[in-house]
Amino acid sequence: MVAAEGKSAVAENRSPAVDVDVVVIGAGFAGLRHLYDLRQHGLSARCFDEAPEIGGVWYWNRYPGARTDSQSWIFAYSFSEELQNDWTWSERYTPQHEIYAYLNHVADRFGLRDQVTLGTRVASARYDDERELWVVTTDSGEEVTTRFVVSATGPLSAAYKPDFKGVDDFRGEWYMTARWPEDGVDLSGKRVAVIGTGASAVQLIPTIAHTAAHVTVFQRTPNYVIPARNATLHENERESIRERYPDIWKRAREQVFGFDLGLAGRTFDDVTSEEMQLILERGWEIGGFHFVFETFDDVFTDERTNEVVSEFIRNKIRTIVKDEATAELLCPKDYPFCGKRPPLGHFYYETFNRDNVSLVDVSQEPISEITETGVKVGEQVHEADVIIFATGFDAATGAITRMDIRGRGGVSIADKWKDGPSTYLGVAVNDFPNFFMILGPHVPFANAPVVIEDASEWIANLIRYMRDRELTVSNASAEASDEWRDTLTGILNDTVVAKGRNNYFLGDNIPGKAHAPLFYLGGVKRYRDALLKESANDYPGFVMS
């Protein structure tokens, strides 16, 4: 059943009428895909994004060196063979400007742009218990009534900047990697302070070191950085990828983190220590997440394997970085490999061999304040002309809790989640009827587009299921939500991630945030199976009416 022009499909046989069937929040990978899926079911939708252009996080994250850590050919959509065939990726790991162009191309090719209102932030979404609908209010004051709200804000979009004393007194310029100016920043000949050594900083630092007069890196927690081994894709390689796409997507959907990678087929007990070193050397030279997934299958679960791999990387750092003291500071020693998300590096460690790059350890003596002239640690001020905050995100929940979202009885989602998020299957929240999430908390931490497509299709199918049965309300049950939380907590505790440090997987990077699991670590296939089991059995985890 397809609604007539301008008419709500769900509301045709229900009252009161709504402005649109679905309001989608976010116009990045998730939001665009969901607009496409909703249209396939004849559902009307409006999408809002605070950015002035389509692209989501790939509009904002335009700092020097920004690119994917996923292979370019699977950091993409799989729903259109024509799209796969007519788009050309230039490199193994896609630079930001290409992803941004790709998403705008998708919006134009599939006629999605007219449904998107840009430069507009959703300020609140409130469930009206009496009318059984949502009232969404934007920062411009517009109100939209809708039966369903879908958050497509992504897990890494709520930028976090520590509240350092004295920032307003700094006489230079400061920027955030997560909100980089569209016109860029000229760092030529300037003294640059970079605060943070997460994935964004790992990409940024080697790039800006080529033009800055000096780069001072302030490190709280060192990272295990794997060489990306990026390369240009030649036409014969691109043609081969196009021909193999069916197999590529099949493999990605079965791989635990959604990559076009295989399994190692070996564990710690299958090889000698000498063979183990050779296997790790081979993985290191191939680069990318091949090193994680195609060396040993028990890196995440066997502490013996993990310690060998961790020490292997530490020895690589000691080999690459000439200054012994700097090398030791760069070596993670108090948490396991993959206890934090391991970024891919593009000559990251090599950058610390440059004369114009220095490292400041702030793990024991933190940054005390920002002064007029730089960054103060202890009694020393490290002078800078520019400060760059590469301090990451309030992951998974932050983009949602920063909006005033209120469910039944006016309860806010921020209060609901004050002790950690509670969801069912990572797509729904008890007592927030008809509110769904794509890439919210409790979905797999994996190659994002694979998870997005599964969740987006599933949510659109649930809405269609309700429409076909003239159902108005779907509410995830408290019992099903508790069971899902117990499931993902149990899986987490069986992995090394539970022993991570300052880890956004557990909310530990944000002061005051509850220490609680934010992601499902059971893999994309098991997650997809859980979604399909739910829908095949007529949604037993939901109370519908």
Residues 6+ apart with CB under 8 A from 512: none
d(CA 494, CA 12): 49
Q: Phi, psi (5° rounding) for residue 501? A: -130, 135
Q: Are 407 and 413 in contact (CB under 8 A)?
A: yes
Residues 6+ apart with CB under 8 A from 518: 155, 395, 396, 397, 421, 441, 442, 504, 505, 506, 507
d(CA 314, CA 225): 10
Q: Where are the beta strands (DSSP E) in 181-283?
A: 191-195, 214-219, 226-227
- Beta pairing, strands 20-25 & 45-49: parallel
- If you search the block for the tokens 């790039």, which residue do you land on? 207
User: Which pLDDT score, from 0 to 100, does residue 16 have?
Assistant: 60
| Closest by Cα among 438, 463, 462, 461 to 450 | 438
The DSSP symbol for 343 reads P
Q: Are 253 and 442 in contact (CB under 8 A)?
A: no
Angle at 477 between CA 474 and CA 480, to 5 degrees: 125
| Closest by Cα among 222, 221, 218 to 164 | 218
For residue 319 the two structure tokens come to 């080999």
Reading the chain (545 residues) residue by residue, the pLDDT tens digits are 233 333 344 444 444 689 999 999 999 999 999 999 999 999 999 999 999 999 999 999 999 999 999 999 999 999 999 999 999 999 999 999 999 999 999 999 999 999 999 999 999 999 999 999 999 999 999 999 999 999 999 999 999 999 999 999 999 999 999 999 999 999 999 999 999 999 999 999 999 999 999 999 999 999 999 999 999 999 999 999 999 999 999 999 999 999 999 999 999 999 999 999 999 999 999 999 999 999 999 999 999 999 999 999 999 999 999 999 999 999 999 999 999 999 999 999 999 999 999 999 999 999 999 999 999 999 999 999 999 999 999 999 999 999 999 999 999 999 999 999 999 999 999 999 999 999 999 999 999 999 999 999 999 999 999 999 999 999 999 999 999 999 999 999 999 988 877 788 899 999 999 999 999 999 999 999 999 999 999 999 999 99
For residue 220 the two structure tokens come to 């709280």
Angle at 232 between CA 228 and CA 237, to 5 degrees: 105
Exposure pattern of 297-330 as b/e (b: 16+ CB <10 Å)?
bbbbebeebbebbbebbbebbeebbeeeebbebb
The DSSP code sequence of 264-323 is ----GGGS-HHHHHHHHHHHHHH-TTHHHHSS-TTTTT-HHHHHHHHHHHHHHHHHH-SS
Q: Is the pTM of this model over 0.85?
A: yes
| Closest by Cα among 437, 410, 429, 502 to 124 | 410
Amino acid identity for residue 284 in this structure: W
d(CA 52, CA 46): 16
Q: In the chain, what is the greatest distance between 2 CA atoms, to the nearest angstrom?
A: 72
- If you search the block for the tokens 């976010």, which residue do you land on? 26
User: Which pLDDT score, from 0 to 100, does residue 485 have?
Assistant: 96
d(CA 326, CA 350): 11
User: Which pLDDT score, from 0 to 100, does residue 17 have?
Assistant: 84
